[in-house]
Structure 1
């Protein structure tokens, strides 16, 4: 008698689905707002004027303003006039007493001849002229400014995770059958 076993197998099959990771970033450029005031320069110029005061120098040399010169000359003339009157009166008194002093006329003659003069060399004027300046350049400026303001925004980020899905397409199986062709009862 024959006995048979029949074994059938079927392999299991798996299905795999994958999803890629995805990152999406959206961003906006910042908005920059600028305010400015330009710099300014203001220049005021006045022509330079030079003032030279030589009154003291001219006075030392003898060149004086008319009013000062007139006062000095009047004073000098009065002084010389009074001195001349006194000198003439003195000489007249000396001549009036010639009988008492026989050397009076030679003494008067010697006095008329003049005095010996001494000379001194000097540079004139001795003082410097007074020099003053007025005018010039006046510079004023305004520096101005620049103000910047930036408005920024956060980026928008969306992300999808990667995924792996595993599923069974076909289950595995083992079929075992017992088969008998005949039955023999002989021993």
Structure 2
């Protein structure tokens, strides 16, 4: 035997109208008067002065004027030492007649052996840069502004109409069961 089942779902119907909302604003005249604020600002920039001449000089990075001054001083000292040496040697040679011994040999011996050189180790630069700050200034004058506003009575007109929603059963649900055929199969085991 066969069983045939047919079903139908229920349906819900919804009908509605939208609500309405309206606002109308009454336009009243408005008077507005404004005075702008004024400001005058005077500013002088800050100045930062960094003097690194001493640091560069210690590191051997000197300006042309400083190099000229140093070498001029060294040349002057070398010239004075040379004049003093020549005068001293001349005086010693003039005493040859006075039987002072081998003067020329002494001068030659003294000039033959050079003085030892000194080697120094030092960290550079030793000094720090000289930093000078000249602070800037800000001065200002301000005039206050204002707004003068005059308004009438503004009252809006508000209307509201509520919406409506209807819900109903549009179609009922149902189930139809049929038995088809005359044969019945059974199994007993």
TM-score (norm 2): 0.39
Greater CA radius of gyration, 1 or 2? 1
Q: More strand by proportion, 1 or 2?
A: 1
TM-score, normalised by the number of residues in structure 1: 0.40
